[in-house]
Amino acid sequence: MAAFDKILKKVKPENRIFVELNLKIREQVLYLLDVHPTVNSQKKLAKAMRKTESEVSRMLSGLHNLTLETIAKLSAVFGENILLTDLAAKKKYKSKPFDDLDMVADEKVLYKRTIKKKGTKTVRNK
């Protein structure tokens, strides 16, 4: 077993989930910066949130511990909820709750989806 795999096995499930959630929020904010008509740069986001550009940069690193207050400010600035729970997403998009969960964690095991590309089609393995 490679050294990296041994280290990865020692990572607590809650730490993996923390990083994954932070990266998902970062991805959402970067997307909104691309499509928002007025708040379309980190500089403008910093001004709208009354934060420094370095604070916004740190926040968008994907590893910064975002508070619910910061997430609420981001949602207010963009006029859109940037944090959508699985259940709320299922209701919004008319799916059954808990269909196609991306991850399931218990005290010892973290199921993580893998993605393989076949030709031009992306297939998710479960």
Q: Tokens 């511990």 map to which residue?
A: 65
Residue 106 exposed, middle or buried by CB count within 10 Å (0-12, 13-18, 19+): exposed
Q: What's the confidence (pLDDT) of residue 72?
A: 95
Cβ atoms of 84 and 32 closer than 8 Å: no
DSSP 96: P
Q: What is the pLDDT of residues 67-109, one digit of tens each?
A: 999 999 999 999 999 988 888 888 888 865 555 554 444 433 3
Residue 114 has pLDDT above 60, yes or no: no
The model's pTM is: 0.66
Cβ atoms of 64 and 25 closer than 8 Å: no
Residue 124 has pLDDT above 80, yes or no: no
Domains along the chain? 3-83 (1.10.260)
Q: What's the confidence (pLDDT) of residue 118?
A: 46
Q: Tokens 């609420």 map to which residue?
A: 72
What's the sign of the alpha-carbon dihedral 67, 58, 112, 126? positive
CA-to-CA distance for 71 and 114, rounded, in angstroms? 28
Mean pLDDT of 14-43: 93
Q: How many Cα atoms within 13 Å fall on the side-chain side of residue 78?
A: 22
How many residues in total does the chain contain? 126
